[in-house]
Amino acid sequence: MTRRQLSEPCSAYEDSPDYRSYSSSDYQTTRAGKHPSRFLTGFKGYLHVDSYAGYNELANVTLVGCWAHARRKFDEALKALPEDKRNKAVAAREGLEYCNRLFAIERELKDKTPEERYQIRQVRSKPVLDAFLAWLKTQKSRVLPKSSFGQAIYYCLAQWDKLVAFLQDGRLELDNNRSEHSIKPFVIGRKNWLFANTPRGAKASAITYSIIETAKENGLNPFQYLIYLFEKLPNLDLQDKNALDQLLPWAETLPPVCRMNN
């Protein structure tokens, strides 16, 4: 099972004899759908995504929606109401509570195996989803599409097939927060430096963040890991694949100083 990340956050899960968790950022000058298609060439499996339309062009991929985004829509709709109405039994709160029920179930399944998680979701999560869908269809005829509440309703209905795809496999998560969190350091940094001076610099930045976030995914101290790489790589035979494998973030041969608990 492998995870990849683009500039538009996503998480990918594919069958593999060995689990490897890594983050891979990709720089492009546009948001065209051809870029994820190129980046994920040959990939078959599940892809956790937000509502970015560029992923819709991918072949041999099951798109899995993000319930954190769906929940946020109802939360925003509730906050858009006058303060004296927010704690009452309004429809926006009802939609938020449907989402909260799904997240509550997932918290209970945190330590379950994928197989157990799959079975329990069929029994507990699916009925919530069925009831929620019926509720969404009822609300659709009652709301203004451009209102905050209307946007929440229409978002869920438009994304429904992706939102319920997590039922298909116990490895899948309810949201895309892992990728969102791993791209956050870049987003914060971008607010400070604003621009990459050249396309090559932007690509170098994507590579650097890929290394750092992959190190964090594998329990490494990124700073110490980079020091170790800078010490070893200049004297390494780059044609020796085994030697390179020993420097990868998941290699058991890495020294203790690279580990996060050190």
Q: Considering the domain boundaries, does residue 104 fall inside one?
A: yes
Q: Can you give the residue range of the structural domain that contains 95?
A: 66-161
Q: Average pLDDT of 42-71?
A: 89
Q: Considering the domain boundaries, does residue 216 fall inside one?
A: no
Q: Average pLDDT of 237-258?
A: 93
Q: How many CB atoms lie within 10 A of CB 220?
A: 22
Q: Considering the domain boundaries, does residue 9 fall inside one?
A: no
Q: What's residue 159's pLDDT?
A: 96
Q: Considering the domain boundaries, does residue 117 fall inside one?
A: yes
Q: Considering the domain boundaries, does residue 214 fall inside one?
A: no
Confidence of residue 27 (pLDDT cuts 50, 70, 90): confident
Q: Considering the domain boundaries, does residue 215 fall inside one?
A: no
pLDDT of 252 higher than 50? yes
Q: How many domains in the chain?
A: 1
Q: Considering the domain boundaries, does residue 131 fall inside one?
A: yes
pLDDT of 2 higher than 50? no
Q: What is the pTM of this model?
A: 0.79
Integer Cα distance of 194 and 188 in angstroms: 10
Q: Considering the domain boundaries, does residue 19 fall inside one?
A: no
Q: What's residue 193's pLDDT?
A: 80
